[in-house]
Amino acid sequence: MSKIHVVTRVNDEKVEFLCEPQETLLDVLRNKLNLTGTKEGCATGDCGACSVTLDGRLVCSCLTLAAETKGKSVGTIEGVADGDTLHPVQQKLLEHAALQCGVCTPGYVIAIKALLEKNPDPSESEIRYWLAGNLCRCTGYDKIITAVQDLAGQSDKFKEVV
C-alpha cells in the first residue's frame, strides 16, 4: 500500500506528511503532526469537536481526507492564540465560563471565529443556527451563546478574514 505525500499549509506554516489514502485530516493532525488541540468526538460529522478551516471554510476534519488538503490551507485551534495572548473568542469563553470539560471548546473557538469573520454582528438566532453543528454536553449552551453575543458588533477584532 503506497502512502501519499502531502504538502499543505497548517496555521500558515508549510507542512509535509505521508498518509494512507483513507486517513482523515483529523487523524493526521493528531497522530502525525502532534496537533492534538483538535478533538475527535463522534467521528461522523455530527458534533463539531474536530472543526477546522480548510481554505477559510469551516469543515469537520473527521470528514476530510488528509490527502484532500494537498496545496490547501488548514486552520486549527493551535493557530488561534497569539503566543500567550488569547484570541478574543478564547478570552470571552473564559470570561463567561462557557466551558467545563473542554473537549468541545477547540471546535467552538474555530466555529465562532469563522462566524464572526463572516458576520461580525450576528443575531442570537444566527449564532444558534451557525453553531448547531457543535455539541456541548456540559454547559447547556447558554453561556456559549452569551459569550458570542458579547463579541458581536466588535468588527475591529475580526478583520483578518481568510
Partner 1 sequence: MGSFAYTAPKKLEQALAVLNKHAAEGNRIQVLAGGTDLLVQLKSIDSEPRTILDIKKIAETSQLTFDGDHVFIGSTISCAVLYENAELKEMFPGLTESIDLIGSTQIQGKATLGGNLCNASPAGDTISALFVNGATCVIANESGLREMPVDEFVVGVGRNALQPGELLLGLKLPKPAANTSDAYLRFIPRTEMDIAVAGAAVSVSLDDNGVCVAARVAIGAVATTALNVPAAVEALVGSALDASALQKAAEASSAASSPISDKRGTEEFRRKIVGVLTKRAATTAYARAKGEG
User: Closest approach of Cβ 8 to partner 1, in Å?
Assistant: 13
* AA letter at 160: E
Q: How far apart are CA 70 and CA 100, in angstroms?
A: 35
Q: How far apart are CA 67 and CA 3, in angstroms?
A: 10
Q: Of the two residues 12 and 55, which places its CB atom closer to partner 1 in the complex? A: 55
- From residue 157, how far is each of 35, 136, 153 by CA, in Å? 25, 25, 9
Q: Of the two residues 86 and 149, which places its CB atom closer to partner 1 in the complex? A: 149
The angle at the Cα of 39, spanning 58 to 111, to the nearest 5 degrees, equals 25
Q: How far apart are CA 3 and CA 28, in angstroms?
A: 13
Q: How far apart are CA 41 and CA 46, in angstroms?
A: 9
Q: Of the two residues 70 and 137, which places its CB atom closer to partner 1 in the complex? A: 70
Binding site for partner 1 (CB under 8 A): 1-2, 4, 20-22, 24, 43-46, 48, 51, 54, 57-60, 62-65, 67-68, 70, 111, 114-115, 129-134
Under DSSP, the state recorded for 17 is E
Q: Of the two residues 95 and 118, which places its CB atom closer to partner 1 in the complex? A: 118
User: Closest approach of Cβ 25 to partner 1, in Å?
Assistant: 10
User: Closest approach of Cβ 45 to partner 1, in Å?
Assistant: 6
Q: Of the two residues 16 and 156, which places its CB atom closer to partner 1 in the complex? A: 16
User: Closest approach of Cβ 1 to partner 1, in Å?
Assistant: 4
Length of the chain counted residue by residue: 162
> For 130, what's the count of Cα atoms within 13 Å in the CB-facing half-sphere?
27
User: Closest approach of Cβ 84 to partner 1, in Å?
Assistant: 29
